Structure 1
Amino acid sequence: MSRQQLIDMTRSLVAHGEAGTMELADDVVRIPASSYTDEALFEREKKQIFRRLPLMVAPSCELPNPGDYKAMDICGVPLLLTRQKDGSVGAFLNMCKHRGNPVAAGTGNATRLMCGYHGWTYKNDGTLVGVASPQDFGAVDKAALCLTRFPVYENAGLIWATLDPQSTLDIADYLCGYDDLLKAFGFESWHLFSQRTLSGPNWKTAYDGYLDFYHLPVLHANTFGADFYNRANYFAWGPHQRLSTPTKYAVKVSSDDDMQLDLTTVADDDLSYEVLVQGVWTIFPHISIASFYGGGLRGAMISQLFPGDTVGESYTTQFYVMEHEPDDEDKIKAAREQFDFLEVVVRDEDYTTGKRQHEALQSGMLKEVLFGRNERGGQVFHQWVEKLTDASDEQLKEIFAAECKQAAE
């Protein structure tokens, strides 16, 4: 992790804040409205983006202990994550090699996973260890019938997996060094306080909102407030972006009150990591990370977005993680109130608006939508969606090799 990179970004934001400026894109960009409504394109995006690129499938604190497991479905692919004896994470196709029945459901802790159909049993490292009634079934090579492995990678307190067992795209290359910057949060030792899943609109409609500060004082006037900032500068590592407000101030949180901290008065060596990671950090194609404080306790909401069954549907799991587990009723209540507040903001404001927007776009009466010069994050996102949807497997490797090289320079 480069602390200096974080300091440089912060000083850039401070300079823009003092000057009353922001970084602007070169021009207004037009995106076909059908990009949100075309069913054939939607299916292609699920295949080319979500079933081919690395996805952040869980925060590490969701599987803190050896034996912990999590089963989930992503775009029709049943995924099983396990925390193995040595502390590493395994990612598997959640299908028994006998008939394809899932070997686990939901979450839990187990060193052995038994298929509920015929009783075949696997270790949590994917090894097939038991065939029911082997004397009747017949001879099989158990070593050849282990659970199918997916590429998996854990860093910065986050877990990525690629839902293609044949993928040769290195997950670390895909992240372009971005994961090392995410270490500044310190998620490796954080606590998962709570989580829930919300229904949303088309996945790109939903994700647009995470890349957009422009709407904050309008759509969220009754929650965040009408005087909330609406400007954001963007920093990019390949398709992954950080959005943060160009200002010389940061929120300083104490046990008693919140106050503004003038960053022009703070030396680089004294800048805390809490200040250095302010803003919204997005991991392409479906993650948003934003810092919050419940009763003065440091936390973050990690929003994990996936396409739904149809072009107009998506679902988002919100993970509220905390630097320290609340240890008394008042702290628990404050954290719960913060998480409940964020549910209202996303469910009742962002996603309700997104669903109305999608219904209107489905009329076909609007041919294109606009992303202004002050909405560079959205511009970049849609450019990367199109680029990666159209790229071949070999081109993916070339694209991210080049991005890694550029990030390292």
Structure 2
Amino acid sequence: MSREDLMAMTRALVAHGLRGTMELADAVVRVPAASYTDPGRFEAERRRIFRRLPLMLAPSCELPEPGCYKAMEVVGVPVLLARQRDGAIAAFLNMCTHRGNPLASGRGKASRFTCGYHGWSFGSDGTLLGIASPQDFGVVEKAALCLRRFPSLERAGLIWAILDPASTLSIETALCGYDRLLAHFGFENWILFDQRTLPGPNWKTAYDGYLDFYHLPVLHANTFGRDFFNRANYFAWGPHQRLATPSKFAQRTGATDQIDLSAIPEADWPMDALMQGVWTIFPHVSIASFYGGGVRGAMISQLFPGRTVTESVTTQYYVMERPPETEEQRQGAHDQFAFLKTVVEGEDYATGRRQHEALMSGLLPEVLFGRNERGGQVFHQWVDRVLETDDADLEALFASAQPTVAAAPALAAA
């Protein structure tokens, strides 16, 4: 069914492209400026969104084999991801159960984790293996002092976890079937080429940009160009969205030219053409395809709120369908990744900081999302829904979400 969905979306994009039209939301939506600037709301978002919903913490290729681990901090929570002996992934609270000291930092390979404070040791499965000087410490039940485990799921070459050990929300339910579409990237077989971390503005100010093609030929006139497209059709699976340009053209892997999808049979439409555009995973991830060095790649942008309402942090992963085989391909991939740093850090996030600083004046009561900016409308509506939903009702909230894959418009009506 997911491939049929991809075909239906592509038919709609081609048809709108031939007509010179796009899908529009029903009305302009107004969002209170305080939703970006209020410190109390910001803390509620950190607590009720980022500590209750599944978060995409790593692409699978960042932990490619058993023994690989990654330690990270997510909205104040120390997290440890560890690839198990059987290849499964586990997510733990990265705190020794003795005094809470973090066990690991960075990335690496290890079969056990030893606390640098008192020497307690834990297996990669979270089991407490040993207590230093047990004859002096006293009697404790080791089985009750294993690492706290977070709910986690590895699907479509991506790793999710919920930062609440007691959560009853199904990660699969929260993905609303979106993971079946993402699986067509084939990320589980890709490689991690490079990554970096960038500071950014308020997390919603930053994330708005990933949901918006409207700004591309204006803000990015010196990088993408003034003739770049500014229209997008939006497809949604609950809060998760895909943005794609209404056009008959698509990029072809390994080529600098484009193909005219309207001129070839649908059965011959290549998968990368069906996956074009930007794929966002609520509440904090964006995936976009690129072809640096002629090799298919993607930038996965992982965005988290910072410690204050004015800050965020983004890790950019550049993953590739296969390793570059020549120096030209490697340089092309490096050049592509460097170009994207200029676009995001020097244009998107620099503008976002100025925008958010201005909003902090409190003199603009609301911001607008036009009919051509449905992605931002849906995003802010879901932020509000999640904030207003109790823990016990989260499962039902996502279970009731229906995908919206619009049919292609009739060409005869053009």
Could you say which TM-score interval applies, normalised by the shorter chain? over 0.9
CA distance in 2, matches of 1:382, 1:253: 34
Q: Which amino acid aligns with 2:108?
A: G
**CA distance 1:222–1:243, change in 2 (3 Å):** same
In the alignment, does 2:119 pair up with 1:119? yes
CA distance in 2, matches of 1:331, 1:262: 26
CA distance in 1, matches of 2:403, 2:332: 44
Deviation at 1:385, TM superposition (A): 0.3
Q: Secondary structure at the match of 2:229?
A: coil
CA distance in 1, matches of 2:350, 2:302: 18
Aligned to 1:177: 177
In the alignment, does 2:50 pair up with 1:50? yes
Aligned to 1:304: 302
**Sequence identity of aligned pairs in percent?**
67
Aligned to 2:233: 233
Structure 2 gap segments, 5+ residues each: 406-414
CA distance in 2, matches of 1:157, 1:29: 35
Question: Deviation per CA, 1:53-86, whole angstroms, max 9, x where unpaired?
Answer: 0000000000001100001111111110000000
**CA distance 1:406–1:172, change in 2 (3 Å):** farther
In the alignment, does 2:138 pair up with 1:138? yes
Q: Secondary structure at the match of 1:304?
A: strand
Q: What pairs up with 1:229-308 in 2 under 5 angstroms?
A: 229-254=229-254, 257-308=255-306
Deviation at 1:253, TM superposition (A): 4.0
- Relative to the length of structure 1, the TM-score reads 0.97
CA distance in 1, matches of 2:188, 2:401: 26
CA distance in 1, matches of 2:46, 2:388: 12
**CA distance 1:165–1:365, change in 2 (3 Å):** same
**CA distance 1:120–1:404, change in 2 (3 Å):** farther
Q: Which amino acid aligns with 1:55?
A: L
CA distance in 2, matches of 1:252, 1:401: 36
In the alignment, does 2:101 pair up with 1:101? yes
CA distance in 1, matches of 2:349, 2:400: 35
CA distance in 2, matches of 1:276, 1:330: 27
Q: What pairs up with 1:81-100 in 2 under 5 angstroms?
A: 81-100=81-100
Aligned to 2:224: 224
CA distance in 1, matches of 2:172, 2:55: 12
2:288, 2:298 within 8 Å by CA — same for their partners in 1?
A: yes
Deviation at 1:259, TM superposition (A): 1.2
Aligned to 1:25: 25
CA distance in 1, matches of 2:236, 2:119: 48
Question: Deviation per CA, 1:18-45, whole angstroms, max 9, x where unpaired?
Answer: 1111000111110001111000000000
Aligned to 1:128: 128
CA distance in 1, matches of 2:325, 2:128: 41
Q: Secondary structure at the match of 2:224?
A: helix
Question: Deviation per CA, 1:238-295, whole angstroms, max 9, x where unpaired?
Answer: 00000000011112244xx511211012222211111000000000000000000111
Q: Secondary structure at the match of 1:184?
A: helix
CA distance in 2, matches of 1:130, 1:30: 57
CA distance in 1, matches of 2:276, 2:115: 45
1:252, 1:259 within 8 Å by CA — same for their partners in 2?
A: yes
2:236, 2:404 within 8 Å by CA — same for their partners in 1?
A: no
1:127, 1:146 within 8 Å by CA — same for their partners in 2?
A: yes
- Relative to the length of structure 2, the TM-score reads 0.96
2:110, 2:124 within 8 Å by CA — same for their partners in 1?
A: yes
Q: Which amino acid aligns with 2:275?
A: V
Question: Deviation per CA, 1:206-240, whole angstroms, max 9, x where unpaired?
Answer: 00000000000000000001000000000000000
CA distance in 2, matches of 1:60, 1:295: 23
Question: Deviation per CA, 1:340-387, whole angstroms, max 9, x where unpaired?
Answer: 000000000000000000010011110000000000000000000011
CA distance in 2, matches of 1:260, 1:143: 59
Q: Secondary structure at the match of 1:222?
A: coil
Deviation at 1:405, TM superposition (A): 9.2
Q: Secondary structure at the match of 1:241?
A: strand
CA distance in 1, matches of 2:304, 2:402: 26
Q: Which amino acid aligns with 1:236?
A: A
